[in-house]
Structure 1
């Protein structure tokens, strides 16, 4: 019998007693139910009962996170750690999610619950983790140092395969390291995956033959049916592709596990749908917990938004996400490449550099920030590289732009002259 525990941190909120509610969760999610059971013996509890390991009180709230018609303030809040025996959970992700997460949200008496973290014992290192990760991504792109500069096919939807290939040729000539299908682009009728692959890969090879640089292109292969997704993978691989975009929440844990065990591609994870789980600050799940499961399943590159993103996420949340994905779970090899994205252009480079501790081990992914540059795509890429040169050498964007017209034009268009 294993003595190791899985420790899950919950941020609980209730108008009742926090300690009693925590004990109820531990019981309901392991050996207990609403009444005493004759077969819930001391031996059974010793093997499989969860227990409350700690309670850290937090300031109360006068209003509940979700409507509470039977309650009244104040609403007591605390971070509660519950320990689950390995013998009860094992190393299966479906079991972990079912036992430690799924049922908790249904507990009566909660006005708020958020999964903050999951600490896993060494047995969980049995999962494959990234096949390529940070260093493998660098090797495939031929980028030995500095940030990997990347772009997205825009417009996101609507381009025919040949038109997409023309955009790819322009981006390759502009000097990007990586290009990806938008996450919304998989295999629509106007641009089936195989037709798109056949149009794009000759452009990638021609650019490599001319320059020696092999740009990584990530094709959208996601599908609800794992067999279809694997056929999509095989199409990309058969034509010399090296990467794929995977919509992890859409394909699920099982789909990701199926793909990773068979994949020869670098897997670029888009987390669309994660916001459903996390946007309410007192409900759902913290990225710190969420990302661990996908990393164990084999994500190589992980999109995490960025500074002054075009979406709702605050800068502090991005900074914490960057720290989360670059912190080893069991070893540095399980760290994916962080992908900074969402409305990025050169204007966020200095702040990104500073707030990630001077890291250059990242992919900087810009769609509109490249395609929308007033001097064209090539200038958009140069402007971003110039911004990162300024960041890494400790210069302001305004000063650096004096001798770099592409960066100056970007600053004029998008108006961020605060750096």
Structure 2
């Protein structure tokens, strides 16, 4: 059985609404059907397995035209769908269990909280590299993988981008990526960027023995174009790609993963449309399971004190979600801590994510904008992580390290707590 946990909000009876969803999304409709026999329902009907009544809400999340102004009733409902009715295809799963429920009349809110899949879904490939492969490709056997982004995000020519890459490599990063907005613009085509950047990566490896991983933005609406982008990166010695997962869709991701030899770094832009309203949409937990099954290796999940709207608790839960096995340890994705990160957030990140160093710590402005330059930005982040994992407080760390002290002076004296 495929089990989905929904949080239902309705002016009526949440139990009746759960029954309606189960019927509408399987064998039933608005009226009795002669062919909907007991035998057919026994094989294919979805079933409500549990309903937990929650406190009512004074006003509806999404008022229906002509509906009551409140209060509305709420419940968590677990609905089980027979595997034989859906199969293991991701498009079928999303259509039946995740997508259709939002159309039901009488709902003033519905949120998908979790998705429990049977072992048959292990037929999907999952991450090709994941946490261990990312460590192998970056040469970082232990500790956080320190990463950065090309800044400015847009506007640099291929040669100018290559100079930023040279600076970041010399600064000591382990990983560099295109911003998600950078794909194949006329002023900096992907092919030209690859041909300008990869010699810098190779030269740095020749000089230092360290191969910095670079993730190129290969996303395209046409899967054939995306694969040509992938192949160009691979032919020039690249090892990673940025994939805008919501933009290419599950079908594009499945097409890419089946043929890919690159480590796939997922950016979830557009995710906020699905989750930002607390009474409607998706929690991250069910959402990320689908993308991990499809092959995401590294997953951006914002961070502590992020520059965007998402709060710290949401980030902490997302971190736990992407590192919790679905079927095996191999299907865990590398959590990418990002969005306005600099050294100061390392302490709280360490404390709240289970004191693990299995992560990528991605600083854009937090590296490029350091008062001492990018190398000082990288040193400050490394010093912060060494201090946090060593049990030091921010104040103790700042007293010991000038680069971290400068970072706190610019971005966060108030975060020394």
Q: Which TM bucket (shorter chain)?
A: over 0.9
The one-character-per-residue Cα deviations of 1:296-329 (angstroms, maximum 9, x if unpaired) are 0000000000000000000000000000000000
Quick check: 1:15 aligned with 2:6? no
Counterpart Cα distance in 2 of 1:130 and 1:73: 45
* Stretches of structure 1 lacking an aligned partner (at least 5 in a row): none
Structure 1 residue aligned with 2:58, among 56, 62, 66?
62
Dislocated runs of 4+, deviation >6 Å: none
Shift of 1:401: 1.8
* 2:349 aligned partner: 352
* 1:418 aligned partner: 416
Counterpart Cα distance in 2 of 1:279 and 1:70: 23
SS at match of 1:176: coil
Shift of 1:269: 0.1
* 1:184 aligned partner: 181
Quick check: 1:363 aligned with 2:351? no
The CA RMSD over aligned residues, in Å, is 0.7
Shift of 1:156: 0.3
Counterpart Cα distance in 2 of 1:361 and 1:129: 18
Shift of 1:418: 1.8
- Residues 200-349 of structure 1 mapped to structure 2, 5 A cutoff: 200-349=197-346
SS at match of 2:400: coil
Counterpart Cα distance in 1 of 2:315 and 2:115: 19
Counterpart Cα distance in 1 of 2:120 and 2:41: 22
The one-character-per-residue Cα deviations of 1:127-178 (angstroms, maximum 9, x if unpaired) are 0000000000000000010000000000000000000000000100010000
Quick check: 1:127 aligned with 2:124? yes
* 2:21 aligned partner: 25
Shift of 1:74: 2.1
* 1:37 aligned partner: 33
The one-character-per-residue Cα deviations of 1:39-62 (angstroms, maximum 9, x if unpaired) are 001111111100100001111001
Per the normalisation by structure 2, the TM-score is 0.99
Quick check: 1:118 aligned with 2:115? yes
Counterpart Cα distance in 2 of 1:73 and 1:154: 48
Counterpart Cα distance in 1 of 2:184 and 2:69: 51
Structure 1 residue aligned with 2:44, among 41, 45, 48?
48
In the alignment, is the contact (CA less than 8 A) between 1:15 and 1:72 conserved in 2?
Answer: no
SS at match of 1:402: helix
The one-character-per-residue Cα deviations of 1:205-225 (angstroms, maximum 9, x if unpaired) are 000001100000000000000
* Stretches of structure 2 lacking an aligned partner (at least 5 in a row): none
* 1:169 aligned partner: 166
Say which is worse superposed, 209-218 or 409-418, in terms of deviation: 409-418
Shift of 1:403: 2.6
Quick check: 1:197 aligned with 2:194? yes
* 2:98 aligned partner: 101
Shift of 1:72: 4.2
The one-character-per-residue Cα deviations of 1:19-68 (angstroms, maximum 9, x if unpaired) are 11110110010000010000001111111100100001111001000123
In the alignment, is the contact (CA less than 8 A) between 2:63 and 2:69 conserved in 1?
Answer: no
Counterpart Cα distance in 1 of 2:303 and 2:46: 38
The one-character-per-residue Cα deviations of 1:108-144 (angstroms, maximum 9, x if unpaired) are 0000000000100000000000000000000000001
